[in-house]
Amino acid sequence: MEETLKIGMDMSDRYRFFTNIAFKNGYDCRSVIESAMQAQASQDLAEITARIKSGVDRQTALKPFLNDAHFEKWLSDFEEALYKAGNK
């Protein structure tokens, strides 16, 4: 146990540790940041899969999701969600 404490003290003296800076509504903002892309990807995948299962070929099913307009819509929604989370 004593050796473990020595190692821990040595590490805290030698290494630089990182932590997020706390700010008002920070937890909510970080939750939006963590989940936004994965949520959109899951939603898109479900829609693409449904289109393919209904007989649409893969390229046609993917096309609505592979363009700047789709990304810009996601980005706008992300910014809005982040703004709302930070300004509760």
- pLDDT tens for 1-48 read 788 888 878 877 787 777 778 899 999 999 999 999 999 999 999 999
For residue 56, being part of any structural domain is answered with yes
pTM of the predicted model, to two decimals?
0.71
pLDDT confidence of residue 11 = 78
Tell me the HSE value of 5 on the side-chain side, using a 13 A CA sphere.
2
Q: How confident is the model at residue 62 (pLDDT cuts 50, 70, 90)?
A: very high
Question: Coil, helix or strand for 37?
Answer: helix
For residue 15, being part of any structural domain is answered with no
For residue 5, being part of any structural domain is answered with no
For residue 3, being part of any structural domain is answered with no
